[in-house]
Structure formats: structure tokens, C-alpha cells
Amino acid sequence: MKKLNLKNTQVSYGWVAIVLHWLMALVIFFLFGLGLYMVELTYYDAWYKGSLDLHKSIGVSVFMLWCLRFIWRLMNVNPAMPEAKTAFERFEHLAAHWMHLALYLMLLLLMMSGYLISTADGRGIAVFDLFTVPAIPAFIDKQEDVAGDIHFYLAWALMAMVAVHALAAIKHQLINKDNILMRMLKPR
């Protein structure tokens, strides 16, 4: 019977890391698209409130997934990068490391700004009507507007970073032929 590789190894990610990665990617793209759609709605549109509630509920769910993924990353080994033979490859490895950290940070800041938008009026966030994330009192003037602007720019910056991340993975697969991309598709 074949062993189910849940944990990461020195050569590839395990199923838990892979599923968390792709699940978060899909949900984040959905949230981005929903966000673009939402900002075009007016207060009188039929789905104005529903889209906001869905965006907030999924956003809190992504935060919980982010926490799980971050803890999983800390508790597991990360697959080793191929040996860097040139100064450029050493730069790529360093850039990849910092890009991964920046993606985690960008997601955290994006979720925090979303929380500050949603709770600026003092009400908590109802998550799929299952539980409510309590609000903290607004602590800056026009918090909803300021956090909204930050959320907007962070969302676009995240999409730009994701594009660079994806292009780097494709470059490694097609040009370097070092199977970096394959490690995030199926454990070896």
C-alpha cells in the first residue's frame, strides 16, 4: 500500500501544504474577483449586502487557513532548493525566500485592513452566521475609508506579487527544468 505523504520532505511538499497552498490561492482569487465586483455595486443593488457578508465571511475563513498554513510551515521542513551554482541563482534563492515571507505578510496586512474596514462601525463580523468576530473600537479618524484605501492597494499589490510568484515557478519548470513547480503539485 502506498504511503500518503502528508508532511513535507527535503524534496517536496506534503499533501497538507499542497492542499492549503492551492485552496488559499483559489479562494484569494475568488475574493479578489468578488471585491472588484462589489465596488461596482450600489447600496440599492440586490446583492450589495450579500456580497459584502460573503466577502467578510470568506476573508475570516482565509485568515484561519492562513494561521493553519503558517503554523504548518513552521512545524515542517521546507524542501531544499536546487544547488545554486551562480551568483544569479543565489540571488534567485534569496529573492524566493523573501517573496514567500512577503506573501505571508501581505496576506496578513490585507486581512487586517479588511477587518478594520468591517469593524469600523463597532459591529463584529458575522461569519456565515455561525459565529461573530468581535470588533475593536475604531482608533483612527475615518478608519473605514483609510483601511479601505489600504485594502484596495494591498489587494492589487498581492495580485502583482502572485503573478511574479507564478512566473518564477513556471520559469523554474520550463527553463531551469528543476521541478520546483512539481513539488507544489504532487509529493514525491
Position 143 scores a pLDDT of: 94
- Residue spans of beta strands (DSSP E) within 120-168: 125-127, 131-133
Beta bridge partners of 131: 127
pLDDT of 180: 87
Give the model's pLDDT for residue 179: 85
What is the chain's Cα-based Rg? 19
Give the chain's mean pLDDT.
94
Q: How confident is the model at residue 138 (pLDDT cuts 50, 70, 90)?
A: confident
Q: What is the mean pLDDT of residues 183-188?
A: 89
> Does pLDDT of 152 surpass 80?
yes
DSSP bridge pairs for 133: 125
More confident position, 156 or 181: 156
Residue 142 backbone class (left: φ over 0; alpha: ψ -120 to 50; beta: rest): left
Output the CATH code of domain 15-183.
1.20.950
* Tens digits of residue pLDDT in 33-56: 999 999 999 989 999 999 999 999
Q: What is the mean pLDDT of residues 120-139?
A: 94
Confidence of residue 1 (pLDDT cuts 50, 70, 90): low
pTM of the model: 0.91
130 sits in which H/E element: none
* Stretch 65-75: mean pLDDT: 96
